[in-house]
Amino acid sequence: MATYVNNLRLKEIATGDESGTWGTSTNANLELIGEALGIGTEGITTNADTHATTVADGTSDAGRAFYLKYTGTLDSACTITIGPNTMKRVQIIENATSGSQNIIISQGSGANVTIGNGEVAVVQLDGAGAGAAVLDVFTDLAVTDTLSINGTTLTIGDATAEDTKIVFDGNAQDFYVGLDDSADDLVIGLGSTVGTTPAISIDEDQFVTMPKKVTASTSANISQVAITSSSNATAWDARAAANAYYVTVENTTFSAPSNAVEGAIISVEIAQGGTPRTVAWNTVFEFAASTAPTVTATASKTDIFAFRYNGSVWQEIGRVQNLAQT
């Protein structure tokens, strides 16, 4: 009696069987081998949560193909079980379904592989029976020479809570570019572990931290940011507007700056409009002799003040007054 216990489910003729018809069975097997080296497409029932691909014994079946494309419309992730669960092989599987859903490739109770919508994965079916697992062939892939990516997007990570990185493995020193997922920071640093010896950190507000000396080969520029007053109070974000510019529109008091960090230096240009206004200061601003200055009360004149935060108060470190605006 013929059996089909091989990894392509081809017909294996028993000794002494099919006398005179071996050619027919052999040709059928050769055709199925060709099918196994080709491309197959299999549709999933609309909105199905599960689907079975069971490769037929000795007859044509899309599930036998080396490159297997799944189509259909889904409204949720669909688990696809490939059988028989003793079949050991490698397949390239494409999720070409509609509905922006994942497909989950399984063979038994072991591990499975999730393939995102529009994505392709190379998987290994381990054929271990009831406990069979499906593994991603490219896990821990090592490329020993140049790797070229011709597309426009390289995605690292799978949206789970974990650090991701690119490590530059140097002879004497390693460097990394990575995502510190717990802090939501993009980090460039020394070594190979994200968060270790960071050189540049960019947070979700696009603020940049560089803990070491920064050398600029040309001039360094801190962009000027306009701040405004409301109800006779002027709010000042020391982080977002370190180089501030304020045009008077009312009598106002400068509030205590937000986002104060010890050692920070900020400055503000106060430009009088056509009608001079008075400007007062919150007590967190410390001036010489603890005496706040009188802002120039002349139309179209400018005063500039600079401060440094000592962890408690903003100490004035510079003042220029009564400047022409043009």
- Look at the chain and report how many structural domains it folds into: 3
The answer to the question of residue 7 being in a domain is no
Locate 45 and state its tokens. Answer: 């029932």
Give Cα 11 distance to the centre of its chain.
48
Q: What is the mean pLDDT of residues 21-40?
A: 94
The answer to the question of residue 117 being in a domain is yes
Instruction: Give the pLDDT confidence of 101-118 residue by residue, as tens digits.
Output: 999 999 999 999 999 999
At 131 the three-state DSSP class reads: helix
Structural domain span for residue 155 = 142-216
The answer to the question of residue 9 being in a domain is no
Q: Which amino acid is at 289?
A: A
Whole-angstrom Cα distance, residue 203 to residue 206? 5
Whole-angstrom Cα distance, residue 70 to residue 50? 13
Whole-angstrom Cα distance, residue 200 to residue 209? 6
235 and 209 part of one domain: no
Neighbours of 211 (CB within 10 A): 11
Q: Of 271, 260, 320, which is closest to residue 300 (Cα–Cα)?
A: 271
63 and 158 part of one domain: no
The answer to whether the CB of 115 falls within 8 A of the CB of 93 is yes
Q: Of 115, 124, 119, which is closest to residue 51 (Cα–Cα)?
A: 115
The answer to whether the CB of 71 falls within 8 A of the CB of 43 is yes
Q: What is the mean pLDDT of residues 29-49?
A: 97
**Exposed, middle or buried: residue 91 (CB in 10 Å: 0-12, 13-18, 19+)?**
buried
163 and 193 part of one domain: yes
Instruction: Give the pLDDT confidence of 166-199 residue by residue, as tens digits.
Output: 999 999 999 999 999 999 999 999 999 998 899 9
Locate 291 and state its tokens. Answer: 């005496």
122 and 163 part of one domain: no
- The residue out of 198, 216, 234 marking a domain boundary is 216
Instruction: Give the pLDDT confidence of 196-211 residue by residue, as tens digits.
Output: 899 999 999 898 999 9
The answer to the question of residue 6 being in a domain is no
31 and 97 part of one domain: yes
268 and 236 part of one domain: yes
Distances (CA, A) of 221 to 216, 242, 263, 319: 10, 11, 19, 20
Locate 85 and state its tokens. Answer: 């669960």
Whole-angstrom Cα distance, residue 120 to residue 122? 7
Q: Of 79, 86, 87, 90, which is closest to residue 137 (Cα–Cα)?
A: 90
Q: Of 120, 81, 64, which is closest to residue 97 (Cα–Cα)?
A: 120
Whole-angstrom Cα distance, residue 91 to residue 122? 6
159 and 181 part of one domain: yes
Give Cα 231 distance to the centre of its chain.
42
- The residue out of 98, 126, 154 marking a domain boundary is 126
The answer to the question of residue 134 being in a domain is no
Mean pLDDT of the chain: 95
Q: What is the pLDDT of residue 196?
A: 86
The answer to the question of residue 3 being in a domain is no
Q: What is the pLDDT of residue 76?
A: 97
The answer to the question of residue 133 being in a domain is no
The answer to the question of residue 34 being in a domain is yes
- pLDDT for 16 beyond 90: no
Instruction: Give the pLDDT confidence of 62-87 residue by residue, as tens digits.
Output: 999 999 999 999 999 999 999 999 99
- The residue out of 100, 126, 152 marking a domain boundary is 126
The 10 Å CB-count burial string (b at 16+, else e) for 158-168 is: eeeeebebeee
Q: What is the mean pLDDT of residues 202-222?
A: 90
Whole-angstrom Cα distance, residue 79 to residue 64? 18
Taking phi first (over 0 means left), then psi (-120 to 50 degrees means alpha), and beta for anything else, what does residue 192 get? alpha
Instruction: Give the pLDDT confidence of 252-297 residue by residue, as tens digits.
Output: 999 999 999 999 999 999 999 999 999 999 999 999 999 999 999 9
212 and 229 part of one domain: no
